[in-house]
A and B are shown apart, each in its own frame.
Chain A
Amino acid sequence: MALTGDLTTFSFADILQVLAKDKKSGVLLVEWKDMIVAYYVKDGEVIFARPVDKVFRVYTDRNFDQLISKLRIRKEDIHKTIERFFLPRLDQKEGIFSFTPGFIKYDSEVPVRYSVEELIMRASRSLTEDEVERKISDELLIFEKAPDVNEKVSRVNLTEEEKKVLSLVNGSRTVAEIRKESGLDRLTVDRALYGLLAAGIIRRKRKERVQKPSITLDLLAKIIEKIKQL
């Protein structure tokens, strides 16, 4: 099933989050104003980028090793395509994306210079106030560190500000408290929280349900039976 959308309303941090969580493999095509770029994704990591003049060309080269050989790119240099065609575009908002899973065959391991967590954090650093509000919508939200926080953090170069924000996430501080205690400006804190959340380094703290359903089990069973019979 393809994933399509518009970068103005669904940012790179959001797309990468979805690709990373499911460790997807495939090709992410982005139609920028000036060019179309194909980003090759393997197990949730963006490993290679190339501009294409015609989209169908992406689908004709299905073997990755043969493709980079044809393009005369050495495996140890493929990260340079990310530096050229991906990193400088993380702050560009106008583009249509489409991710198609599968169809690229990898015969061998591919080195990953920029982990997906690193790319998500970089993408979050250019989010606008309106964009961060999409995830950090309520100052009463509470986050906690993910169980594998250390492993994830080891794959990212966090800024000093991001490290500070992360240190304040403890499962009880609200967003408002983190903003206040960090001493940082609000947008920097919210960008950090957005990136850390999208990268899976932190997660929403689950609210303990306190409101007991106001219904008996017998009545609930009746409702279930009624719905089944509709």
Chain B
Amino acid sequence: MKELKKIKIVVAGPFAAGKTQFINTVSEIKTVATERKTSGASEKNVKDYTTVAMDFGKIRIDEEHELYLFGTPGQSRFDFMWEILGEGALGIIVLVDSTDPKTFHEARKIINFFQSRFPVPIVVGANKQDLPNAWSPEDVMFALDISEEEGIPVIPLSAKDKEQVKKVLLTLLEVIRYSLEGS
């Protein structure tokens, strides 16, 4: 049986940004999750389970190719996994919880991490826009110090909404296309 070629997109972001939900929403398989009970007191207040290695979902493209969506663990103590997952990625989606400004700095650090090691196209998803107190995508962009020159689009979404998740993916793919056509 012919082995399918894997194309990889990484879904990164701070703790509880909605990465697992994002992948679940578009994956054609049930997401392969590596969740464990949260350990820190502050983490327990946010959610009971968290990703400790990676999540992945996949989408079959044709007879030869599959698109893999790899979700990284959010806590920076697992940043060694970011390095492993970033290798060979076509692009990076950084999700941010728009209602939680205390995680914005962490998101910026993640962007810096991938920019310095894997200079591939990046898109930011300003998640949880369906919740009250969500910061607008423009304000998230300002808070993350993203300048126009960086070429990182910030897209509003709720990771529960398939069309909105698709829009984030399509935006990343368009940035990749732009990058390919320009090279």
B61 touches A228 (CB 8 A): no
A1 touches B136 (CB 8 A): yes
Q: Is B41 an interface residue (CB 8 A)?
A: no
B133 touches A2 (CB 8 A): yes
CB within 8 Å for A226 and B101 given contacts A1-B135, A22-B139, A215-B7: no
Chain B interface main SS type: helix
A227 touches B119 (CB 8 A): no
For B145, list chain A residues within 8 Å (CB): 17, 135, 197, 203-204
Q: Which residue of B lies closest to A203 (CB)?
A: B147
Q: Which residue of B lies closest to A20 (CB)?
A: B142
Bound: A207/B151 CA distance, A: 10
CB within 8 Å for A209 and B179 given contacts A141-B112, A224-B170: yes
Question: Which residues of A (202-227) have their CB < 8 Å from a CB of B?
Answer: 203-204, 206-215, 217, 219-220, 222-224, 226-227
* Chain A 110-136 per-residue mask, 1 if CB under 8 angstroms from chain B, else 0: 000000000000000000000000110
For A1, list chain B residues within 8 Å (CB): 134-136, 139
Q: Is B104 an interface residue (CB 8 A)?
A: yes
CB within 8 Å for A207 and B115 given contacts A197-B145, A220-B177, A223-B173: yes
Bound: A106/B142 CA distance, A: 25
Bound: A135/B107 CA distance, A: 10
CB distance from B181 to the nearest CB of A (A): 7
